[in-house]
A and B are shown apart, each in its own frame.
Chain A
Amino acid sequence: MQNRDHSVVRAVLAGDKEAYGALVRAHSASVFRVAFRISGNEAEAEEIVQEAFLRGYQQLESFEKRSSFGTWIYRIAVNCALNRIGKPVIEAEYRHGDESDPEQKTVQVAARDADPERLLLAGEMRAAQTMAMQRLTPTEKSAFVLRHIEDRSTSEIADVLGIAPNAAKQAVFRAVQKLRRELAPLRGNA
């Protein structure tokens, strides 16, 4: 796979633009997945995929042959997503409330003593989790998604985000603290 990607990269750099299509077809699903997990929005994730592959094409000369194209384009996608969620466009406007009320911008969540398993299944729990994620900083959110969802190691997260491993670890830890604090009322424990 890696060797095939490298030969395709060489072909593209030699002027075969069409060859880049093979790389797009091979990696767009994984790029969309991480883009969606970080952005939480399907349309935005699609835009991130486009942007990531465009940037990848433009920077293809800087692609080092010893690395994997999949990892390389994944890193670009995370950075694209990071830039997008860093823009103050999407803000969590809804807060927890006794009942769902669009005018008050509140959302009803289950009672504290409810069964956690039932809560997880409930839509309110999903909304709370989404809101809690939106309150994280872009770096915290990306680091947490990479760590918790994508199961990446601290060094990989540091590499993808372009930060020091200790900073990546701290970002994950801060995200965990915030999420636990936000979601504690739903489960009745911290």
Chain B
Amino acid sequence: MTHLSEEQIVDLYYGEGTSEAGKHVAVCRTCAAEYARLEQSLNAITAVEIPRKGEDFSEQVWQSLKPQLIPYEMKRAGWFSWTKWRSASVAVVCIVLLATVFVGGRYWERFTAKKDTVATNQHTAQRVVVVVLTDHLDRTERLLVQLEHANGDDPAQNALMQSEAQQLLASNRLYRQSVSYSSDPALAGMLERLEGILAEMANDPKLTQADLERLRKEANSKGILFEIRVMLAHIPDKKSGQEPTKGATSI
């Protein structure tokens, strides 16, 4: 027969033992003796006598406690007030931040837009000038090459050359006038020299072989064709939009 453990007997004493344990104690002499010893021990431990407190004890407790208590409404109001101020502060900070970001954004937009516009305008103008001037120089180069190989026996060809010279003379004058205000004396000088040759070619009433020979010599002596080719070579790529060299962009 398995006897009850001390824990089971303690449970039994406090009324929390199992029914099997209760039945076992009823029939087992050893466990019954153990239970009796425990009962005797625990019964001897009696409640300490509670000191008698006067009728006014509760009132004394309350009176000494009362000054320490903060009414709940005030506590709530304080908390609410603090929360209200905190919320208001956060709202003000948010508004200021938003306004700062908005105004800053507007200024930044204007500043960058202005900068971009200036840069874009400059860049676009440069690209247009490069393209137009390059076309002018190309056409001039072709005219001078034609002049180099022309003979006075073909009046139709001479007429075409004169017509081309007249057109180029008009545009060349505009470029030269523009360039004269810029700081590119090399281009200005070249356009000036070119203008003289173009003017002679355009204004000659009847181009003869002798006239053509004189013009060729003048062009060669002035090195106009060479200068034009150098100028065109310095312009990297008229379609790429890259920064043109000095002389091609200074208008």
Contacts and interface: CB of A to CB of B under 8 A. Distances in A.
B6 A177 contact: yes
Contacts of A173: 6-7, 10
A29 B7 CA distance: 33
Contacts of B11: 169
Interface string A52-69: 011001001100000000
Nearest to B16: A154
Interface stretch (A8-16, A81-89, A92-100): A8-16
Q: Which of A24, A42, A50, A189 has the most CB of B within 10 A?
A: A24
A54 B65 contact: yes
A172 B12 CA distance: 13
B40 A15 contact: no
B10 A25 contact: no
A111 interface: no
A189 B59 contact: no
B47 interface: yes
Given A13-B72, A24-B58, A116 B65 contact: no
Contacts of B48: 36-37, 40, 130, 149
Interface stretch (B49-57, B125-133, B162-170, B175-183): B49-57
B37 A17 contact: no
B45 interface: yes
Interface string A18-46: 10110011101100110011001010001
A27 B74 CA distance: 26
A17 B61 contact: no
Contacts of B10: 172-173, 176
A24 B45 contact: no
A24 B134 CA distance: 104
Contact of B69 (A13, A20, A49, A169): A20
B210 interface: no
Interface in A133-163: 147-149, 153-154
Given A32-B57, A36-B48, A37-B50, A17 B69 contact: yes
A187 B46 CA distance: 15
Given A14-B73, A15-B74, A24 B14 contact: no
A184 B40 CA distance: 11
Given A29-B58, A54-B68, A172-B10, A179 B41 contact: yes
A63 to B, nearest CB: 12
B88 to A, nearest CB: 24
A49 B61 contact: yes
Interface residues of A, number: 51
A129 interface: yes
Contact of A172 (B14, B71, B76): B14
A190 B37 contact: yes
Contacts of A15: 71-74, 76
Contact of A21 (B45, B66, B70): B66
B2 interface: no
A32 B47 CA distance: 14
Given A42-B51, A53-B65, A147 B46 contact: no
B169 to A, nearest CB: 100
Contacts of A12: 72
Given A37-B50, A149-B47, A189 B61 contact: no
B75 to A, nearest CB: 9
B174 interface: no
Interface string B52-96: 010001110110111011111110100000000000000000000
Nearest to A120: B44
Nearest to B74: A15
Interface of A: 12-18, 20-21, 24-26, 28-29, 32-33, 36-37, 40, 42, 46, 49-50, 53-54, 57, 60-61, 116, 119-120, 125, 129-130, 147-149, 153-154, 169, 172-173, 176-177, 179-180, 183-184, 187, 189-190
